[in-house]
Structures are given as C-alpha cells and as structure tokens.
Structure 1
Amino acid sequence: MTQSIVVQVGQCGNQVGCRFWDLALREHAHVNKMGEYDEALGSFFRNVDSRNRACGVGGRIQHLKARAVLVDMEEGVVNEILQGPLGEVFDSTQLLTDVSGSGNNWAVGHMTYGSCYREQIVDTLRKAAEHCDCLQCFFLIHSMGGGTGSGLGTRVLSLLEEEFPEVCRIVTSVYPSAEDDVITSPYNSVLAMKELTEHADCVIPVENQSLVDIVSKIKHMSDGGIPGRVIKRDSTIISGESGLSGAEKPFDAMNNIVANLLLNITSSARFEGSLNMDLNEIAMNLVPFPRLHYLVPSLTPLYTLADVSIPTRRLRPSLPFVSWNQEGWKTGLCSVPPVGHSHALLALANNTCVKSRFMELRESFTKLYRKKAHLHHYLNVEGMEQRSFSEALNSLSSLIEEYDHLDATKGKLMRDAARLSIAR
C-alpha cells in the first residue's frame, strides 16, 4: 500500500486540512469497526502503538499520527487545532509556525519566510517522508488570495519538486471570489499561479464564491419548510457530532466540501474496489500538455435529505470529449462510499472552461498594476523585484493563449466536420 502526505499551508490550508483529518478518521472508523491498523488506514496515518490497535475515535486516536505537515506564519489556527479534539493526531515535529503572519503579501510569504524557513521546511518534509514505506503523493492545500498560503505555499511546492522530484504533487488551491476583502488578492493569486503552472503536477482549483453559493443553496432548500427537506447529519457539508469535530464553525460546511473532494480522490487508492486507480494515473491520463494541468472537480451527492432515497446515477453510454484529449479517460471504482451516503461520484475534467476565470483574474490584476497600487509593499521586501509582476502576468497570459489555441482547434474541427456533413 502506498502512502500520501498532506501539506497544509496558511490559515485556509490548515482549516481545510483540519476538516480533512476529522472526516478521514470518521470514514476509517466507519469501515474498520474493530479498530485494527490496516493498509487502508496506513495510507494517511502511521501507527505509534505497538499493540496494533489504533483505529477509531475517542481514546484510541492518540495511537495514530497523521501523515501531515502543518505550516502557518500566524500560529492562531494551528494552535486552535492542537488544542482541539484532533490535537493528538498531529506530530509536534511536523509543525512549523511563526507569530507575525505575511500581511496578505505574496512576497513576504515566498521571499522572506520562504528563505528564512527553507531548511526547517525541507527537514520537516524529509522527516514526514521517512515514515513512509512507499511515498506516492504530496497533497498541498492552500489559498491563493492571502500572503502565507499563496507565497509560502508555492515556495513549499517548489521545494517539494526539488527534494522529491519523482513524487506526484497534487495541489488544491482555493481561489478568492471577485469581491474578496483582501485588496491585494489579485497580485497574490497571479504571482502564485506562475509557480503552480511551473511546479505542480495537477492543480485542483476551488473557487471560494462557488463554495458559498453551494452551501447557501442547500441551506435555503433545507430551511424552506418542505416536509422531508432536512439534511442528514452525516452529509458532506455537515461535520456531524462524532466527538472529533466539536462545535460547528462558520466555514466548516465550505471546508467539508473541499475535504470530501480530497477523500474521494484518494478513496480508490485506500480501499478495495473492482477497479482501483493509482494517484499517479490522474496526471498521466488527464494532462496531455504539462502546463495545462488545472483539473475542474465535480462531486455528487453533496448532501442527503432525511427520509428521501436518491436513485443510483448511471453514466451516459457516450460522453463528449475535448478534441485535444479524446482518450483522456480514467475510471476508478471503489467499494466504500463516503460516510452517510450509499454512493458517490467524483469527476475531474481537464478542459478550457477554467480560461474564463483566469481572464477575470488577469483583468483584476491589470487594474491594480496599471495604477501601481500597493506595489511598494511588495518591492520593499528583500529579493522581490518589479519584473516578478510582469513575469507572472506574462505566464498567466501565455496560459490563457494556450487555452485559446485549443478552443480554436476545437472550432476548426467542428467546422471541418460540418463541411464533411454537407459534402455527403
């Protein structure tokens, strides 16, 4: 059995990570009733109890240590996690914090903290890797709009490529909404995107506004007073009262969706199934062009209504594929559904729909950069130069042009097909 390490960077990364570990423990406890340390559990946890009984909740979780590295330059969230019900799951030698934060400045996270903590970060990653017999993948969780998540998060990503070039790097990036309250988020996001494009194997973009809309829609539906429209406590957006999660927090529902997305991606690698999928096969099958590795996730069901049975879905016999990746298809079938659900379906799609979001991001960046707004905060950071902004903008524009080219190819193929049809 292979192992994976989750690297959580910044406030958002650690909040999502906390939900991930809570839900992962619940999932394994639900499947592994006897509490035995097995291969499935070993994919994300290591056992520090020689008696071998480690799985479950409550008194026995102290025998498990998460294969996790927690990094944040403002220690509040990490301290809250350590003082909470999940505190004992994390190895104190795999935590790295500071007190001052990055001030919503990519340069501070990437340049200042990235240089200052470089050796400690590398040492922490190596220690985590040494506990693995067969390390297959690093999952990096971070946000794009702040300073630590975007700046230090992408610095950690480049260090992962340096130190572990053969290990797959899958990044979950939470993108800010258009009305983000961090004025410098367009700078941070575009500067981070250059690093993601160059150093990640796969990026799974998650837009913050989309999470808000999903949770609001479900809440509105469940509060509509219609009989039976009550969401079960074990649904994806609900933490549940497992004894691990504690009191519900405002962003838990949104973070649970992202955490469940990661659990679904790895379920076929952790549990038995009629058609298992190796994590390395995601990039192998879905990324025909190295830079175009932004995969759009779709997850269903996101909730289960009480006393309502949902019919089992069926894939259509034929599905449309993008013209430039006609054979990019990989299926994994796992016998263990998420807790609270009878079935689930996750789809990762590599197509050009991400281009519109990247264009919006470029426009927001250009509005600030044209006025040189807040630029001095970045240029005052040692090691940061103004050309970094133009290079990041050029990298994003080049990425958009590559998607444009594929869109044009698709249009040409459709026109050619129409001409052939007329000729017949």
Structure 2
Amino acid sequence: MTQSVVVQVGQCGNQVGCRFWDLALREHAHVNKRGLYDEALSSFFRNVDSRNNDGVCGVGGRIQHLKARAVLVDMEEGVVSQILQGPLREVFDSTQLLTDVSGSGNNWAVGHMTYGSAYGELIMDKLRKAAEHCDCLQCFFLIHSMGGGTGSGLGTRVLRLLEEEFPDVCRIVTSMYPSAEDDVITSPYNSVLAMKELTEHADCVLPVENQSLVDIVNKISLLSHGAKPGLTIKRDSTVISGQGGLCGAEKPFDAMNNIVANLLLNITSSARFEGSLNMDLNEIAMNLVPFPRLHYLVPSLTPLYTLADVSVPSRRLDQMFSDAFSKDHQLIRADPKNCLYLACALMLRGNVHVSDLRRNIERLRPSLPFVSWNQEGWKTGLCSVPPVGHSHSLLALANNTCVKPTFVELRERFTRLYRKKAHLHHYLHVEGMEESVFSEAMSSLSSLIEEYHHLDATKARLIPDAPRLHIAR
C-alpha cells in the first residue's frame, strides 16, 4: 500500500486540511467497524502504538493511536492553536507543526522570501520526517490559498522545496483563488506571483474559486428551505456536517471548506479504499497532463448534498454524470462545454457498475469537445466505498481550456494595481525582492494564457490542422 503526505500552509490551508482529516476519520470509522489499523488507514495515517493494532480507530472518527501523515505550517498561530484545542488535537504529531506569531501581512514576498529563508530548512526537516514514516511515498498534497501572504508565498516556497528534495514524488496542489471582491487589496499581486511557482513546480493544480463555493453554499441553503416534498437536505449531508476539528462556533466559511475537503476525500478514495477500477494518484498527472505547464484541472463534484429521498434509480445516476459537467457543480466559474477538453477523469465512489460508467461516457461524449489527437482522453476510477451519508458520488477532473478566462481576469486585476505601482513598496522593501519578479510572474501568466488560447483556436478552426504545442527542452 502506498502512502501520501498532506502539507497545509496558511490559515485557509489548515482550515481545509482540518476538515479533510475529520471527514476521512469518519469514513474510515464507518467502514472499519472493529477499529483495527489496516492498509486503508495506513495510506494517510500511521499507528504510533507499537504494542498491538487494536482500537486505533473508534466510533465516529475518534482515534487513540493514529497520527495524520501531515505537516501543518502557518505564520500566525491562531488556526493551528484552535486545532490543538479541538477534537482532532491527538491526530497531529506536535513535531510536525510549525507556527510563528506575526503573519505575512498579506504579502507574498514576506511569505516566500522572508519566512521561506528563515524556516525553509526546518520545514524541510519536517517533510523528510513525514516521508521517512512512509513505506512507499506516492504523493504530496499541498493545500493553500492564493490571496494571502503565507498561503501564496510560503506555500509556493514549500512546493519548490518538495520538488528539490523529492523530484520523483507527485505534487498535487489544491489552490484557493480569491474572488474579485476579495477584501485583501494585494491579492492580485499575491495570486499572480504564486501562479508562476505553481506553473513551474506543481504536477497538478486543482483551482478552487471562493466565489464558486459561495454560490454553491447559497444554492444549497435555498434548497434546504424549499417547500417541495422530498427535497429536505439531510443533516449528515456533505455541506451540513459540522466543523469537525476546529473548536468554537461554526462560521460561514466552514461549509465552503467542507466542499473542498470532500474534493480531497474523493481524489484520495482509491488510495484509501478498494475498488474495481482503482486509480493510482500518479495516473492523474500521467493521463490528464499532456503538456507540463497545462496542469490546471477543473474539479466538479456531485452530489453536493443528500436529499431525503435516498433511492437511487438509474435516472438519478445518469443525472449525477450530467451534473458533473454542468457549471453549477464546478468549483471554479467556467464553461467547459464551450471550450476544449485535453483530457478528463471520472472518479466514482459507491455501488456503480462499469457498464453505468461506459454508458454515460458514450451518452455525454458528443457534447464534450475534445482535442482531435486525444478523442479517447478519459481516465476512470471506481471506488466501492461511498462518502458517509451518500450512496454514491462522482468527482470529475477536467483539463480544459475554460480556465483561461479566470487567468485573464486575474491578470487584469493585477495590471490595474501594477500600472499605478500601488502598494508595490510593501513588496520591494522585503530583502531579496526586486521589481523584475513582478514582470517575470506577469510574463509567465501571459504565456500560459497564450498556450490555452492557441488550443482554443484549434477548436474554432482558426488554425487549420494546427500542430501540437511546442514543448521546450
């Protein structure tokens, strides 16, 4: 059995990561009724009780002898302190935590350069220690935000450290993108500076937009108050399931973090449980990324809630596949059907047959435009264990040119600030930071946008018989 390590950086990264660990424990406790340490648990947890394997996972996700394969980093201590006071405090090894008190001041340069230099070797030691506890290390999952200073700056510095120290281990990054109305005025700077690092050092990036999460949570809230019979959302649904490992009153963004945690649960399900078509985590990058820089995968998750009428006729199963390709279920605002697919993965959980999978691919195929040289660009996985409270679920990961408008909008917001040199002095006062770093980041983003534009042009037949993108050697 292979193992993976989760690296949580910054406030957002630790809040989302905490939800992942809580829900993962609930899933394992639901399946592992006797609470024995087994291969499924070993994929993301290690047993620190050398005496025996009994009683490591109790009912409801309460644990006694399990430690998460995780490294928690934040330059403010608030969220990590909350975690250590909450119900998951025993899950995290204290030697795998690193905090400071002053924060990064919403400044990428402070996180990347100041804290990256000060704590780089210490973080590397913690990553090595986490790796040493693995028999067969398969993947690093990095969770961070793009808008703040620690998540964007130190998060991408950690990503670079991972590539240097573990070049052959897959790096999958979940990046939280700020909305246009973000209250951090410097978030366009931080996001574009982080984008260059993600493009150069990640194997796969799962972009998640805050605004999409807000829209989904609002939609579910409306449904939960609907008067239609049978449309009551169950209390153990994906979104309405408590805040897990954090203490204190539930906050509005807990439901948003819950959705992202479920994205991580689904993508790791084949690594944690058995299935008839298990998808190796390395296969995601291998099958979905034809060009190294174009590794931004649009995630779409369904169902996002559990209705009271839980019967699962074939019609509802087909609807789940259709929903996975609708804008309402995507974690990024985009329209993939009007853009070009380079490849697509379908990761199913629950009692779903291969015949259902093939039938729905054939049904949807005519409406999904794929590049001419990868018409069969589907990767599929079937895990027999569904999420708790669901009979089945589906995660779609689309490598699609529809991410381009998001990047174009980000570049425009960056340009509006940079043209006036607004707030630039906060960055240039940081040791090691030069204005050329901004221009290089802008150039990298523009080049990425142009590569997607080139592919879109082949769909529109603006370039007849267009060759594949040139890959620099």
Q: Same fold (TM over 0.5)?
A: yes
User: Using a 3 Å threshold, how does the CA distance of structure 1 residues 59 and 412 change in structure 2: closer, same or farther?
Assistant: closer
Name the structure 2 match of 1:420: none
Decide which moves more: 263-272 or 396-405: 263-272
Structure 1 position 317 matched with structure 2 position 362 = yes
For residues 104 and 303 of structure 1, the distance between their equivalents in structure 2, rounded to whole angstroms, comes to 34
User: Using a 3 Å threshold, how does the CA distance of structure 1 residues 55 and 308 change in structure 2: closer, same or farther?
Assistant: closer
Give the TM-score taking structure 1 as reference length: 0.95
Decide which moves more: 154-163 or 318-327: 318-327
Name the structure 1 match of 2:168: 166
1:300 maps to a residue whose letter is T
Structure 1 residues 317-336: aligned runs within 5 Å: 317-318=362-363, 319=365, 320=368, 321-323=370-372, 325-336=374-385
**C-alpha displacement at 1:327, in angstroms?**
3.4
From 104, 122, 125, the counterpart of 1:123 = 125
For residues 142 and 125 of structure 1, the distance between their equivalents in structure 2, rounded to whole angstroms, comes to 16
Name the structure 2 match of 1:32: 32
1:26–1:56 Cα contact (<8 Å) kept: no
From 364, 368, 376, the counterpart of 2:425 = 376
Q: How far does the alpha carbon of each residue in 1:290-313 deviate from its partner, in whole angstroms, 9 at most, with x for none?
A: 000000011100001123535223
% identical aligned pairs: 85
Structure 1 position 302 matched with structure 2 position 304 = yes
Name the structure 1 match of 2:331: none
From 237, 253, 258, the counterpart of 1:251 = 253
5+ residue gaps in structure 2?
319-355, 466-473
From 110, 113, 127, the counterpart of 2:112 = 110
From 378, 383, 387, the counterpart of 1:338 = 387
**C-alpha displacement at 1:362, in angstroms?**
0.2
Structure 1 position 291 matched with structure 2 position 296 = no
Name the structure 2 match of 1:270: 272
2:293–2:448 Cα contact (<8 Å) kept: yes
Name the structure 2 match of 1:52: 53
For residues 273 and 145 of structure 1, the distance between their equivalents in structure 2, rounded to whole angstroms, comes to 37
User: Using a 3 Å threshold, how does the CA distance of structure 1 residues 246 and 26 change in structure 2: closer, same or farther?
Assistant: farther
Name the structure 2 match of 1:85: 87
Name the structure 2 match of 1:198: 200
**C-alpha displacement at 1:240, in angstroms?**
4.5
**C-alpha displacement at 1:57, in angstroms?**
4.3
Q: How far does the alpha carbon of each residue in 1:351-392 deviate from its partner, in whole angstroms, 9 at most, with x for none?
A: 100000000000000000000000000000000000000000
Name the structure 1 match of 2:404: 355
2:33–2:59 Cα contact (<8 Å) kept: no
**C-alpha displacement at 1:328, in angstroms?**
2.5
What SS class does the counterpart of residue 381 from structure 2 fall into?
coil
User: Using a 3 Å threshold, how does the CA distance of structure 1 residues 405 and 216 change in structure 2: closer, same or farther?
Assistant: same
What SS class does the counterpart of residue 344 from structure 1 fall into?
strand
2:52 maps to a residue whose letter is R
Name the structure 1 match of 2:183: 181
For residues 6 and 58 of structure 1, the distance between their equivalents in structure 2, rounded to whole angstroms, comes to 22
1:192 maps to a residue whose letter is A
For residues 31 and 246 of structure 1, the distance between their equivalents in structure 2, rounded to whole angstroms, comes to 29
**C-alpha displacement at 1:243, in angstroms?**
9.3
User: Using a 3 Å threshold, how does the CA distance of structure 1 residues 241 and 347 change in structure 2: closer, same or farther?
Assistant: closer
Structure 1 position 282 matched with structure 2 position 284 = yes
For residues 61 and 242 of structure 2, the distance between their equivalents in structure 1, rounded to whole angstroms, comes to 19
**C-alpha displacement at 1:183, in angstroms?**
0.3
From 141, 156, 159, the counterpart of 2:158 = 156
Name the structure 2 match of 1:75: 77
What SS class does the counterpart of residue 297 from structure 1 fall into?
strand
1:22–1:244 Cα contact (<8 Å) kept: no
**C-alpha displacement at 1:220, in angstroms?**
1.1
Q: How far does the alpha carbon of each residue in 1:113-164 deviate from its partner, in whole angstroms, 9 at most, with x for none?
A: 0000011010000011110000000000000000000000000000000000
Q: How far does the alpha carbon of each residue in 1:10-51 deviate from its partner, in whole angstroms, 9 at most, with x for none?
A: 000000001000000000000100101000011000001232
1:352–1:407 Cα contact (<8 Å) kept: yes
For residues 62 and 12 of structure 2, the distance between their equivalents in structure 1, rounded to whole angstroms, comes to 28
1:26–1:339 Cα contact (<8 Å) kept: yes
For residues 265 and 408 of structure 1, the distance between their equivalents in structure 2, rounded to whole angstroms, comes to 31
For residues 39 and 59 of structure 1, the distance between their equivalents in structure 2, rounded to whole angstroms, comes to 17
2:116–2:154 Cα contact (<8 Å) kept: yes
Name the structure 1 match of 2:21: 21
For residues 24 and 443 of structure 2, the distance between their equivalents in structure 1, rounded to whole angstroms, comes to 40
For residues 94 and 244 of structure 2, the distance between their equivalents in structure 1, rounded to whole angstroms, comes to 24
User: Using a 3 Å threshold, how does the CA distance of structure 1 residues 38 and 404 change in structure 2: closer, same or farther?
Assistant: same
User: Using a 3 Å threshold, how does the CA distance of structure 1 residues 64 and 389 change in structure 2: closer, same or farther?
Assistant: same
Number of aligned positions between the proteins = 417
Q: How far does the alpha carbon of each residue in 1:73-99 deviate from its partner, in whole angstroms, 9 at most, with x for none?
A: 000000000110001100000001000
What SS class does the counterpart of residue 35 from structure 1 fall into?
coil
User: Using a 3 Å threshold, how does the CA distance of structure 1 residues 60 and 144 change in structure 2: closer, same or farther?
Assistant: closer
For residues 52 and 409 of structure 1, the distance between their equivalents in structure 2, rounded to whole angstroms, comes to 57
Name the structure 2 match of 1:230: 232
Name the structure 1 match of 2:324: none
Q: How far does the alpha carbon of each residue in 1:371-423 deviate from its partner, in whole angstroms, 9 at most, with x for none?
A: 0000000000000000000000000000000001101122228977xxxxxxx
What SS class does the counterpart of residue 271 from structure 2 fall into?
helix
User: Using a 3 Å threshold, how does the CA distance of structure 1 residues 244 and 328 change in structure 2: closer, same or farther?
Assistant: same
What SS class does the counterpart of residue 407 from structure 1 fall into?
helix
For residues 325 and 150 of structure 1, the distance between their equivalents in structure 2, rounded to whole angstroms, comes to 33
Structure 1 position 409 matched with structure 2 position 458 = yes
1:301 maps to a residue whose letter is P
Q: How far does the alpha carbon of each residue in 1:36-69 deviate from its partner, in whole angstroms, 9 at most, with x for none?
A: 1000011000001232021224796131000000
**C-alpha displacement at 1:326, in angstroms?**
2.7
From 443, 446, 451, the counterpart of 1:397 = 446
Q: CA RMSD in A?
A: 1.9
2:411–2:442 Cα contact (<8 Å) kept: yes
